[in-house]
Amino acid sequence: ASLAILEDVGVVFRDPIAIEDWKRAGADVRADDRVHLDRGLVMELIKTIPSRIEYFARDPAKNVELGGPKSIFVPMTGAPFMRDLDDVRRGPTIADLGTFHKLAHMM
């Protein structure tokens, strides 16, 4: 479904640099700055993504490698809804956010 949207509907980019980048990559850029991406182009671009990248921290000792066999856990900034221990769907609280951060830190 997502490839069909990229092909048929496209995505509007309001940044001239992004528009030029898409043109150079071979995308179909229309007059309204709507970029249409055919499946073949998407698959070719995906092949160029490195399997691993390094995420640089201010302190180089805390740099993190993304990809490969390693996993990283990052606390979310807030879910629109959650289920509590009583299986009740509700909006999250600041306390919930603190709990999520503690859980992520322990992982």
Question: Can you give the residue range of the structural domain that contains 86?
Answer: 52-106
Task: Tokens 């640099």: give the residue.
Answer: 17
- Residue 91 contacts by C-beta under 8 Å, 6 or more apart in sequence? 80, 81, 82
Q: Residue 74 pLDDT more than 80?
A: no
Do 57 and 43 reside in the same domain of the chain? no
Do 41 and 16 reside in the same domain of the chain? yes
Do 56 and 77 reside in the same domain of the chain? yes
The residue among 81 and 19 whose pLDDT is bigger is: 19
Do 43 and 79 reside in the same domain of the chain? no
Distances (CA, A) of 56 to 65, 69, 70, 75: 9, 18, 16, 18
The residue among 6 and 83 whose pLDDT is bigger is: 6
**Mean local confidence (pLDDT), 80-90:** 85
The pTM of the full predicted model, rounded to 2 decimals, is 0.58
